[in-house]
């Protein structure tokens, strides 16, 4: 654990207390079993009241400006108990997009509402079977003074609960080219939008969104027309580090739960923790988890420092966290044996959520590819 | 800026100015050459001048107390010193077991007389120490050691054999685990300082699979050791030994590769294997493994820094984590270099292979020791599961 300031320690402890008290895994299980939705609005209200939705929002827009260092701590704690909330996509990703790409007017309009939780804003970037922003085919054609959008987005995080979407659209060029992409803010109740909830394995609120002649004004564009790719990748790197922090928390909990189980389960008249084969497996997992923690904590700091090291750090954090989350959730089931296979036990929740997060905004292999290209090999 | 911050920035300015005046520019970025021949010190005027300057300032052992010749710096000041050194390609010119392992342990457990006698020469870089721990019958199960130290009045009479005693061919002194009581295993061990010039000490070098002779066997035959050379009390040796091993692992966990091919693997692979039309290393499977290896290496370095940052007092059980992670990184790199260099990578001798190629092979072989010495990979895993994870708590 990185050395924290007093404020950061308070934030982390507060998050830990709230998550264990108000939103433990059992709360997610209840939500899933009830079939009532993919998030609990009452919990989201509490999250917003505590100010967490404004952690990366500047103070002038009603946030606390604690940066990713602060948000990472909260996401890590939420990851531990698989808290279902739009904090990641709205409070971190959309807020960062507005901060880094939005005009003063757009920031003034959206950031205060993101910070107080009254608006949930998501990001609609994916279309194909893999995350790849350059392959965007959804079009935004100039029409009058604004644009008309046509196309389909998938895996839109918390898309069913969102009030607005930041949509990546092609204003010129062909799919596969990174030039010609534009980011636009579109309210989800605009005419021509059809949303369809995807029943993903983690039972969270992902959506497929179809745009049929959706009209937006000229002020919907964030940043430069046709030049969204590079600045959006920077926003996505922030998102990737946020995901890595969530995965780190998830791994920590999966590890701790497994360790506790090994210390209580008796076979051959011995608790399982006494077996050296299992001790060594846990020691290896623990070692690897330390490396992942270092990568994540480093990335969080690099992002906040805003220097040249941020991209490499984000790649490292997302790739290592994805690889390890895959391994840790597999081992969680294996080391629990039969009970790990049952739906009544939580291990299944962890592996299901992990598989989804591993591929969100690029899987480990895609980030390894980035790493190699960055170094010119 | 608070008082502490302004004191630190004053220290930074002072360190920078002093280093600028005293660090020989000819030695910039040459720290690795230096460590490679440890425990000996390199020849040459600049090397000697640098060592002398740093040692008289106490910065060869920056955190040690000034009364024994150390620098008396705080942890934060030391970080600043290292930072300023790094900026100019500088390095601390003292290395080896005495500085990294024995000194810190003696400072914790030695008497005032023992510290006064042994610490200042270490700070001046004058004495070389070796570690008398392992024996032919006591490897991972170190506490089963048999070397006896018998009480004969003013002296102990030492008889036995140590093995894997690195640097003992050059050492002036040996800190040694000896058995003073045969009725207890761990509690029968004592920690003794033995002058290597004593009659009855014999050193026989061991040739390793890499061809190196960095280790030796040490035989003790009726060696008389004054009683004042006992560190801690009788039968307290195991406690001291474990503390010293933490310092040892900390050093090993942070160690870099120092000979053979030192360039990044991707650069070496581009040269030996070539690239495809897109500029990628022509062997795509290897390319993917290089990425994962580099990521592991990077994360390991970050963990070394994080552990140093978090540590309030010296090394902890986390050093076992670092050591195993380092073994993995070093050994993977060694194996991959052999794979990358292909037929050129399997040379041992002669002019058909470059020195770097031959050294890389030997380094790959030598690196196999990394997961054996200082406690094997498996012993570290035992320590992690026992001391950090508490897996033996419910017996």
Q: What number is the ipTM of this complex?
A: 0.94
Distance between first and last Cα of chain A: 33
User: Which of A282, A368, A375 is closest, CB to CB, to B266?
Assistant: A375
Is the minimum CB–CB distance between B288 and chain A shorter than 8 Å?
yes
Residue A96 contacts residue A242 (beta carbons within 8 Å): no
Bridge partners (DSSP) listed for residue B348: none
Chain B residues near residue A1 by CB distance under 8 angstroms: 310
Task: Among B292, B295, B310, B387, pick the best mutation site for testing chain A contact (most A Cβ within 10 A).
Answer: B295
**Confidence (pLDDT) at B262:** 84
Residue of B nearest to A280 (CA): B381
Residue A88 contacts residue A234 (beta carbons within 8 Å): no
- Which of helix, strand or coil describes residue A209? strand
Chain A residues near residue B263 by CB distance under 8 angstroms: none
Structure tokens given for A40? 């609990």
Q: Is residue A363 very low, low, confident or very high in pLDDT (cuts 50, 70, 90)?
A: very high
Instruction: Enter the DSSP assignment of A143.
Output: E
Judge residue A175's burial from the number of C-beta atoms within 10 Å of its C-beta, 0-12 exposed, 13-18 middle, 19 or more buried. Answer: middle
DSSP secondary structure string for all residues of A41-103: HHHHHHHHHTTGGGTTS-GGGT----HHHHHHHHHHHHHHTT---TIIIIIIIIHHHHHHH--
Is pLDDT above 90 for A3? no
CA distance linking residue B180 with residue B184, whole number of Å: 9
Q: Half-sphere exposure (CA, 13 Å, Cβ side) for A274?
A: 10
Cα-based distances in Å from B111 to B68, B107, B118, B127, B154: 13, 8, 11, 19, 18
Is the minimum CB–CB distance between B337 and chain A shorter than 8 Å?
no
**Confidence (pLDDT) at B73:** 94
- Which of helix, strand or coil describes residue B234? coil
CA distance linking residue B365 with residue B349, whole number of Å: 15
Q: How many CB pairs under 8 A join A and B?
A: 117
Distance from CA of A329 to the nearest CA of B (A): 18
Is the minimum CB–CB distance between B395 and chain A shorter than 8 Å?
yes
Is the minimum CB–CB distance between B270 and chain A shorter than 8 Å?
yes
- Which of helix, strand or coil describes residue A168? strand
Is the minimum CB–CB distance between B37 and chain A shorter than 8 Å?
no
Residue A198 contacts residue A208 (beta carbons within 8 Å): yes
CB–CB contact B306 A294 (8 Å): yes
Is pLDDT above 70 for A1? no
Q: List residues of chain A with CB under 8 Å from any CB of chain B.
A: 1-3, 259, 262-263, 271, 273-274, 276, 278-280, 282-284, 286-287, 290-295, 297-298, 316, 319-320, 365, 368-369, 371-372, 375-377
Is the minimum CB–CB distance between B179 and chain A shorter than 8 Å?
no
Distance from CA of A256 to the nearest CA of B (A): 9
Structure tokens given for A221? 């564009």
Chain B residues near residue A377 by CB distance under 8 angstroms: 266-267, 269-270, 275, 279-281, 287, 290
Distance from CA of B28 to the nearest CA of A (A): 25
DSSP secondary structure string for all residues of B129-177: EEEE--BTTBSSSGGG---EEEE-SSEEEEEEEE-S-TTTTT-SEEEEE
User: Which of B279, B302, B386 is closest, CB to CB, to A294?
Assistant: B302
Residue B150 contacts residue B190 (beta carbons within 8 Å): no
**Confidence (pLDDT) at B30:** 83
User: Which of B279, B291, B295 is closest, CB to CB, to A376?
Assistant: B279
CA distance linking residue B349 with residue A202, whole number of Å: 59
Residue A167 contacts residue A228 (beta carbons within 8 Å): no
- Which of helix, strand or coil describes residue B235? coil
**Confidence (pLDDT) at B309:** 79
CA distance linking residue A320 with residue A368, whole number of Å: 9
Chain A residues near residue B318 by CB distance under 8 angstroms: 290
Residue of A nearest to B284 (CA): A377
Q: Is residue A37 very low, low, confident or very high in pLDDT (cuts 50, 70, 90)?
A: confident
CA distance linking residue B160 with residue B200, whole number of Å: 11
Structure tokens given for B111? 């008497």
Cα-based distances in Å from A222 to A24, A102, A185, A238: 37, 5, 7, 17
Give the ranges where chain A is alpha helix by DSSP (H): 6-22, 25-34, 41-49, 67-80, 95-101, 104-115, 229-262, 276-305, 310-336, 347-359, 364-374
Mean pLDDT of A173-179: 96
User: Which of A280, A291, A369 is closest, CB to CB, to B296?
Assistant: A291
User: Which of B280, B302, B389 is closest, CB to CB, to A259?
Assistant: B389
CB–CB contact B295 A368 (8 Å): yes
What structural domains and CATH numbers belong to chain B? 3-95 (1.10.540), 129-236 (2.40.110.10), 254-388 (1.20.140.10)
Residue of B nearest to A279 (CA): B385
Is pLDDT above 80 for A247? yes
CB–CB contact A280 B378 (8 Å): yes
**Is the pLDDT higher at A208 or at B8?**
A208
User: Which of B303, B385, B388 is closest, CB to CB, to A294?
Assistant: B303
Distance from CA of A24 to the nearest CA of B (A): 24
Packing angle, helices A229-262 and A347-359, rounded to 10? 160
Chain B residues near residue A273 by CB distance under 8 angstroms: 385, 391-394
* Model pLDDT for residues A248-306, shown as the tens digit of each residue: 999 999 999 999 999 999 999 999 999 999 999 999 999 999 999 999 999 999 999 99
Distance from CA of A311 to the nearest CA of B (A): 14
Is the minimum CB–CB distance between B185 and chain A shorter than 8 Å?
no
Cα-based distances in Å from B162 to A168, B44, B139, B366, B371: 69, 34, 10, 20, 20
Cα-based distances in Å from B195 to B127, B224, B259: 11, 10, 32
CB–CB contact A283 B300 (8 Å): no
What structural domains and CATH numbers belong to chain A? 6-119 (1.10.540.10), 123-226 (2.40.110.10), 230-374 (1.20.140.10)
CA distance linking residue A48 with residue B351, whole number of Å: 71
**Confidence (pLDDT) at B171:** 94
Residue of B nearest to A367 (CA): B291
CA distance linking residue A284 with residue A324, whole number of Å: 11
CB–CB contact B384 A287 (8 Å): yes
Kind plus residue range of the DSSP H or E element containing B219: strand B215-226
CA distance linking residue B310 with residue B304, whole number of Å: 10
* Model pLDDT for residues B154-177, shown as the tens digit of each residue: 999 999 999 999 888 999 999 999
Residue of B nearest to A365 (CA): B288
Distance from CA of B308 to the nearest CA of A (A): 10
Chain A residues near residue B297 by CB distance under 8 angstroms: none
CA distance linking residue B317 with residue B329, whole number of Å: 19
Structure tokens given for B66? 């000034």
CB–CB contact B294 A371 (8 Å): yes
Bridge partners (DSSP) listed for residue A237: none
A169 φ/ψ angles, rounded to the nearest 5 degrees: -130, 160
Structure tokens given for A33? 């079993």
Structure tokens given for B147? 């070397």
Residue A250 contacts residue A78 (beta carbons within 8 Å): no
Packing angle, helices B284-310 and A364-374, rounded to 10? 90
Is the minimum CB–CB distance between B294 and chain A shorter than 8 Å?
yes
**Confidence (pLDDT) at B394:** 56
Contacts 24+ apart (CB under 8 A), B33-41: B33/B258, B34/B91, B34/B93, B34/B95, B35/B95, B35/B258, B36/B258, B36/B259, B38/B95, B38/B96, B38/B167, B39/B95, B39/B96, B39/B97, B39/B98, B39/B128, B39/B129, B39/B130, B39/B167, B39/B170, B39/B171, B40/B128, B40/B170, B41/B125
Q: Residue A300's Cα: distance from chain center in Å?
A: 14
Chain B residues near residue A290 by CB distance under 8 angstroms: 303, 318, 321, 325
Chain B residues near residue A376 by CB distance under 8 angstroms: 266, 279
CA distance linking residue A159 with residue A124, whole number of Å: 8
B384 φ/ψ angles, rounded to the nearest 5 degrees: -60, -50
CA distance linking residue A96 with residue A105, whole number of Å: 15
CB–CB contact B279 A377 (8 Å): yes
**Confidence (pLDDT) at B265:** 96
Q: With the CA atoms of B346, B348, B354 and B360 taken in that order, what torsion angle do they form, in degrees rounded to the nearest 10?
A: 60
User: Which of A2, A371, A377 is closest, CB to CB, to B295?
Assistant: A371
Ranges of chain B with pLDDT below 70:
1-2, 34-39, 253-259, 312-316, 394-395
């Amino acid at each position: 654990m990185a050395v924290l300031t007093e404020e950061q320690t308070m934030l982390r402890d507060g998050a830990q207390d709230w998550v264990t008290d108000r939103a433990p895994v059992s709360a997610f299980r209840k939500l899933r079993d009830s079939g009532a939705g993919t998030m609990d609005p009452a919990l989201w209200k509490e999250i917003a009241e505590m100010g967490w939705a404004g952690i990366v929002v500047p103070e002038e827009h009603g946030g606390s400006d604690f940066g990713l260092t602060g948000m990472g701590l909260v996401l890590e704690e939420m990851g531990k108990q698989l808290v279902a909330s739009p904090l990641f996509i709205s409070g971190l990703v959309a807020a960062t997009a507005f901060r880094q790409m939005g005009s003063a007017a757009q920031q003034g309009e959206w950031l205060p509402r993101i910070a107080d939780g009254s608006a949930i804003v998501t990001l609609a970037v994916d279309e194909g079977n893999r995350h790849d922003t350059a392959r965007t085919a959804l079009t935004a054609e100039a029409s009058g003074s604004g644009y008309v959008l046509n196309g389909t987005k998938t895996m839109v995080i918390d898309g069913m609960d969102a009030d607005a979407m930041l949509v990546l659209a092609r204003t010129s060029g062909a799919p596969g080219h990174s030039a010609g992409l534009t980011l636009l803010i579109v309210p989800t109740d605009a005419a021509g939008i059809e949303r369809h909830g995807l029943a993903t394995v983690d039972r969270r609120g992902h959506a497929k969104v179809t745009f049929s002649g959706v009209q937006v004004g000229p002020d919907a564009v964030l940043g430069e027309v046709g030049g969204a790719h590079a600045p959006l990748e920077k926003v996505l790197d922030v998102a990737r580090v946020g995901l890595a922090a969530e995965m780190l928390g998830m791994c920590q909990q999966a590890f701790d739960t497994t360790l506790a189980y090994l210390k209580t389960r008796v076979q051959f008249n011995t608790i399982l923790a006494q077996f050296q084969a299992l001790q060594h497996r846990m020691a290896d997992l623990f070692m690897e988890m330390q490396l992942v923690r270092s990568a994540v904590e480093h990335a969080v700091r690099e992002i906040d420092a805003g220097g040249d090291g941020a991209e490499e750090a984000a790649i490292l954090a997302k790739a290592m966290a994805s690889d390890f989350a895959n391994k840790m959730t597999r081992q969680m089931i294996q080391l629990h044996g039969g009970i790990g296979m049952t739906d009544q036990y939580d291990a299944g929740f962890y592996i299901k959520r992990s598989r989804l997060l591993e591929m969100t905004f690029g899987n480990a292999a895609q980030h390894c590819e980035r790493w190699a290209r960055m170094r010119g090999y | 800026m608070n008082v502490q911050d302004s004191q630190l920035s004053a220290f930074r300015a002072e360190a920078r100015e002093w280093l600028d005046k005293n660090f020989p520019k000819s030695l910039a970025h040459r720290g690795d050459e230096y460590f490679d021949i440890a425990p000996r010190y390199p020849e040459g005027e600049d090397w000697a001048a640098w060592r002398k300057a740093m040692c008289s300032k106490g910065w060869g052992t920056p955190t040690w107390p000034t009364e024994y010749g150390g620098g008396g710096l705080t942890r934060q000041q030391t970080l600043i010193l290292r930072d300023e050194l790094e900026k100019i390609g500088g390095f601390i010119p003292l290395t080896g077991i005495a500085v990294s392992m024995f000194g810190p342990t003696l400072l914790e457990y030695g008497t005032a007389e023992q510290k006064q006698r042994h610490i200042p020469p270490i700070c001046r870089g004058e004495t070389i120490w070796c570690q008398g721990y392992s024996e032919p019958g006591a490897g991972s199960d170190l506490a089963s050691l048999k070397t006896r130290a018998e009480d004969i009045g003013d002296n102990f009479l030492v008889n036995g054999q140590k093995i894997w005693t690195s640097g003992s061919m050059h050492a002036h002194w040996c800190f040694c685990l000896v058995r003073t009581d045969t009725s207890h295993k761990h509690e029968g061990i004592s920690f003794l300082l033995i002058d290597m010039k004593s009659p009855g000490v014999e050193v026989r070098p061991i040739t390793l699979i890499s061809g190196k002779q960095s280790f030796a066997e040490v035989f003790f035959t009726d060696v008389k050791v004054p009683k004042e050379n006992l560190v801690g009390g009788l039968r307290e040796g195991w406690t001291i030994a474990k503390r010293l091993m933490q310092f040892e692992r900390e050093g090993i966990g942070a160690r870099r590769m120092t000979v053979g091919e030192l360039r990044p693997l991707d650069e070496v692979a581009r040269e030996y294997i070539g690239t495809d039309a897109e500029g990628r290393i022509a062997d795509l499977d290897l390319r993917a493994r290089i990425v994962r290896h580099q990521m592991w290496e990077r994360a390991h370095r970050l963990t070394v820094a994080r552990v140093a940052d978090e540590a309030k007092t010296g090394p902890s059980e986390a050093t076992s984590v670092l050591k195993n992670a380092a073994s993995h990184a070093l050994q993977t790199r060694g194996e991959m270099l052999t794979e990358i260099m292909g037929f050129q990578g399997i040379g041992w001798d002669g002019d058909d292979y470059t020195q770097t190629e031959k050294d890389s092979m030997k380094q790959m072989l030598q690196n196999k020791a990394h997961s054996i010495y200082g406690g094997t990979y498996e012993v570290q895993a035992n320590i992690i599961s026992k001391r950090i994870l508490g897996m033996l708590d419910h017996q």
